[in-house]
């Protein structure tokens, strides 16, 4: 007898094949049958009128700190994600010697905008080596599965100490030791290795993070250590997408991939260089066809920084705004509606010359900033941007920003499209999403907690690209393609062959979705982090149930209390691949 049968749903099984109506049986946490007349079960879930799909596999997250204190890993749980991969962008918390723990916390705060106070209060350091880190994660009950990579920053500091913190090149013996530690991490279960090579990622002191200037020899050496395990990959964040050092960056990536270590990286249309992505994608396709597997991760919608009086906004660094920050929301709104306060905030100059202040002072920012609206609109028309509105009103863009942020009792949001919408067109995103070589990435779930809220991208794909577009719409995507992109393809990229499709023998991670009712809620600022720090939260409606290893972990937006989540280890995934080959 099966443990569970999901009965009568429209099954989009993750393989990309046409959807069909049928049943899914679950036994001992795995799918034990797909079709009809599957026999008896201890429990039946009716799925008539629902889409039944695999649990989503989100491969670009930064839950590295949150995994220590949040067993639910929200907001990902609310959006049907059953497996996350963290340790991206070269930042993380293992390996580490005790005296460098706070340094890694500072790097995570600086690069990924996760509050230092929360990380210091929430992480219970129970490890030094990476295998010890995986064991510590394994000991924490959790709702969804967690996979991780070994990041370059802690690895370099662990091996090279203070020499690894700056631009100093790694000596041959350093490279050999980093390769040994990386190999041991993969053998213990890490899914890969990540590194950052972008000037955007800086330390709290404002200098590029360790590893930014690592030589190809260093990266190729670490890659050799990975290749020796027969599994794993290298994840890269590179300024090549900004048109910088494209030949050299893709050169070492291709050399590494040709040696047997696949490479993946984030690819987006950037505002300063809106056409570079197409050349890079073509080069990756050529390299992969020649045996050097380089796989771009692409985005579901424009990457947006959110401005709000609840969090980050263009007035927050001004002297007159300082006394308002600690006020309860209602009192802050009352003050902001005061004409004298408004006048001061619109005429004061920002004393800061770095960070977000630079963004607020650039005229080009307001040409790419739009009201978020309700229902949420991530693809606004060009004439609705702040600069266009200001031109029609004959006023300064900051006046428009101020007034728009006061709407909805000060809970309105403006979206600055930092990437993916440089020409106010869906075309680049559509081309990248439909390319057979790309996978879904870039949610950044768990990071940039007060400025970016993209953990909802899997839900967005189903709403915006599938349901809300008729089949003859040029931007319509078939549900089978979307499901495959964010389940099977993401899982296989990181060597997880035991999930991502609804086939016999696969892990029973499922979503039961009411597609007609599927809805993304407006972001809101909540204070649920350790040390009472704030973050943006975005929930969803329409996920009737989500299952992890055959256990229902959420029903209609309410957690069930089940804790079937595990640490995903690369060796176990490889065993599954051999078993199903």
At 396, list the tokens.
């300064």
Mean pLDDT to the nearest integer, 517-544: 96
pLDDT at 166 over 90: no
Mean pLDDT to the nearest integer, 53-64: 98
Q: What is the torsion angle, in degrees rounded to the nearest 10, for the CA atoms of residue 464, residue 470, residue 476 and residue 479?
A: 80
Of the candidates 425, 451, 474, which is a domain's last residue?
A: 474
Mean pLDDT to the nearest integer, 484-504: 98
- Give the side-chain half-sphere CA count within 13 A for 177: 14
Each residue of 170-188: pLDDT tens digit?
999 999 999 999 999 999 9
Each residue of 441-463: pLDDT tens digit?
989 999 999 999 999 999 999 99
3-state DSSP assignment of residue 325: coil
Mean pLDDT to the nearest integer, 388-407: 96
Q: What rounded mean pLDDT belongs to the chain?
A: 95
Domain of 464: which CATH number? 3.20.20.140
Mean pLDDT to the nearest integer, 34-62: 96
In a domain, 421, yes or no: no
Give the structural domain span for 401: 305-415
373 falls in which pLDDT band (50, 70, 90)? confident
In a domain, 571, yes or no: no
Element spanning 416, H or E: strand 414-419
What's the first-to-final CA gap in the chain, in angstroms?
27
Q: pLDDT value at position 581?
A: 47
361 falls in which pLDDT band (50, 70, 90)? confident
Work out the percent of the chain whose per-residue pLDDT is above 70.
98
578 falls in which pLDDT band (50, 70, 90)? very low
Of the candidates 385, 415, 445, which is a domain's last residue?
A: 415
In a domain, 47, yes or no: no
Do 195 and 244 lie in one domain? The reply is yes
Is residue 314 within 8 A of residue 401, CB to CB? The reply is yes
Cα-based distances in Å from 229 to 191, 260, 293, 340: 11, 10, 17, 66
Do 359 and 251 lie in one domain? The reply is no
Long-range contacts of 527-530 (CB under 8 A, 24+ apart): 529/115, 529/118, 529/122, 529/449, 530/69, 530/117, 530/118, 530/119, 530/121, 530/122
Task: Count how many domains the chain has.
Answer: 2
Each residue of 232-280: pLDDT tens digit?
999 999 999 988 999 999 999 999 999 999 999 999 999 989 999 999 9
Using CA atoms, how far apart are residues 321 and 344, in angstroms rounded to an integer? 9
Each residue of 399-447: pLDDT tens digit?
999 999 999 999 999 999 999 999 999 999 999 999 999 999 989 999 9
Do 181 and 214 lie in one domain? The reply is yes
Do 187 and 103 lie in one domain? The reply is yes
SS3 string, 344-384, reads HHHHCCCCCCCCHHHHHCCHHHHHCEEECCCCCCCCCCHHH
Do 468 and 351 lie in one domain? The reply is no
Q: pLDDT value at position 577?
A: 53
Q: Which residues contact 307 (CB under 8 A, 6 or more apart)?
A: 313, 314, 369, 401, 405, 413, 414, 415, 416
Do 235 and 132 lie in one domain? The reply is yes
Using CA atoms, how far apart are residues 482 and 486, in angstroms rounded to an integer? 6
In a domain, 491, yes or no: no
pLDDT at 503 over 80: yes
Q: pLDDT value at position 53?
A: 98
pTM, two decimals, is 0.96
Is residue 64 within 8 A of residue 90, CB to CB? The reply is no
Mean pLDDT to the nearest integer, 495-513: 98
In a domain, 464, yes or no: yes
pLDDT at 517 over 90: yes
Is residue 31 within 8 A of residue 508, CB to CB? The reply is yes
Work out the percent of the chain whose per-residue pLDDT is above 90.
91
In a domain, 576, yes or no: no
485 falls in which pLDDT band (50, 70, 90)? very high
pLDDT at 152 over 50: yes
Q: pLDDT value at position 357?
A: 77
In a domain, 2, yes or no: no
Q: Which residues contact 301 (CB under 8 A, 6 or more apart)?
A: 378, 379, 420, 429, 454, 457, 460, 464
21 falls in which pLDDT band (50, 70, 90)? very high
Do 293 and 309 lie in one domain? The reply is no
pLDDT at 576 over 70: no
* 291-295, 351-355, 374-378, 504-508: segment of lowest average pLDDT: 351-355
Q: pLDDT value at position 351?
A: 85
Each residue of 94-109: pLDDT tens digit?
999 999 999 999 999 9
Using CA atoms, how far apart are residues 33 and 27, in angstroms rounded to an integer? 9
358 falls in which pLDDT band (50, 70, 90)? confident
Do 195 and 114 lie in one domain? The reply is yes
Do 250 and 396 lie in one domain? The reply is no
In a domain, 138, yes or no: yes
* 20-24, 41-45, 379-383, 498-502: segment of lowest average pLDDT: 379-383
Q: pLDDT value at position 382?
A: 81
pLDDT at 314 over 50: yes
Do 249 and 352 lie in one domain? The reply is no
Using CA atoms, how far apart are residues 391 and 383, in angstroms rounded to an integer? 10
Q: Which residues contact 260 (CB under 8 A, 6 or more apart)?
A: 227
334 falls in which pLDDT band (50, 70, 90)? very high
Helices (H), 85-149: 101-112, 116-122, 130-138
Do 179 and 293 lie in one domain? The reply is yes
579 falls in which pLDDT band (50, 70, 90)? low
385 falls in which pLDDT band (50, 70, 90)? very high
Do 176 and 206 lie in one domain? The reply is yes
């Amino acid at each position: 007898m099966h443990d569970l049968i999901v009965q009568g749903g429209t099954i989009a099984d993750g393989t990309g094949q046409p959807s069909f109506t049928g049943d899914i049986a679950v036994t001992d946490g795995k799918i034990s049958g797909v079709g009809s007349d599957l026999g008896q079960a201890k429990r039946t879930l009716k799925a008539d009128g629902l889409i039944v799909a695999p649990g989503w596999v989100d491969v670009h997250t930064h839950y590295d700190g949150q995994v220590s204190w949040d067993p639910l890993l929200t907001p990902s749980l609310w959006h049907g994600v059953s497996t996350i991969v963290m340790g991206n962008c070269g930042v993380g918390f293992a390996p580490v010697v005790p005296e460098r723990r706070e340094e890694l916390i500072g790097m995570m705060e600086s690069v990924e905008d996760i509050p230092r106070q929360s990380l210091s209060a929430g992480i219970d350091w129970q490890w030094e080596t990476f295998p010890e880190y995986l064991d510590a994660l394994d000991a924490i009950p959790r709702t969804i599965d967690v996979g991780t990579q070994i990041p370059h920053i802690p690895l370099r500091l662990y091996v090279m100490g203070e020499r690894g913190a700056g631009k100093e090149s790694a000596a041959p013996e350093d490279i050999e030791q980093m390769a040994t530690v990386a190999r041991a991490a993969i053998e213990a279960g890490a899914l890969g290795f990540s590194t950052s090579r972008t000037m955007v990622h800086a330390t709290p002191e404002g200098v590029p993070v360790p590893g930014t200037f690592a030589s190809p020899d260093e990266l190729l050496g670490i890659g050799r250590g990975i290749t020796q395990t027969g599994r794993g990959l290298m994840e890269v964040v590179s300024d090549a997408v900004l048109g910088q050092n494209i030949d050299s960056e893709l050169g070492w990536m291709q050399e590494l991939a040709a040696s047997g270590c696949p490479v993946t990286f984030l690819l987006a249309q950037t505002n300063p260089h809106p056409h570079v992505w197409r050349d890079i994608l073509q080069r990756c396709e050529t390299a992969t066809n020649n045996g050097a597997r380089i796989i771009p991760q692409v985005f579901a919608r424009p990457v947006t920084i959110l401005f709000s009086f609840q969090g980050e906004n263009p007035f927050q660094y001004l002297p007159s705004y300082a006394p308002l920050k600690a006020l309860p929301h209602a009192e802050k709104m009352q003050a902001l509606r005061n004409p004298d306060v408004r006048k001061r905030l619109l005429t004061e100059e920002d004393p800061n010359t770095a960070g977000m202040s630079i963004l607020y002072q650039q005229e080009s920012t307001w040409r790419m900033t739009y009201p978020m609206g309700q229902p949420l609109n991530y693809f606004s028309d060009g004439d609705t941007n702040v600069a266009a509105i200001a031109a029609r009103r004959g006023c300064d863009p900051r006046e428009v920003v101020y007034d728009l942020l006061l709407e909805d009792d000060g809970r309105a949001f403006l979206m600055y499209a930092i990437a993916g919408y440089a020409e106010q067109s869906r075309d680049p995103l559509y081309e990248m999403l439909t390319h057979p070589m790309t996978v879904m990435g870039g949610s950044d779930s768990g990071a940039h907690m007060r400025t970016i809220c993209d953990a909802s991208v899997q839900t967005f794909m189903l709403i915006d690209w599938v349901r809300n577009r008729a089949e003859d719409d040029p931007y319509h995507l078939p549900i089978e393609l979307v499901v495959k992109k964010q389940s099977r393809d993401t899982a296989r990229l990181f060597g997880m062959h035991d999930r991502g499709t609804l086939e016999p023998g696969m892990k029973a991670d499922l979503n039961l979705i009411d597609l007609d009712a599927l809805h993304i809620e407006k972001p809101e600022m909540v204070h649920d982090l350790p040390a009472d720090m704030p973050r943006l939260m975005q929930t969803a409606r329409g996920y009737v149930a989500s299952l992890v290893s055959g256990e229902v972990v959420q029903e209609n937006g309410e957690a069930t209390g089940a804790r079937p989540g595990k640490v995903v280890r690369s060796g176990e995934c490889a065993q599954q691949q051999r078993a199903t080959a």
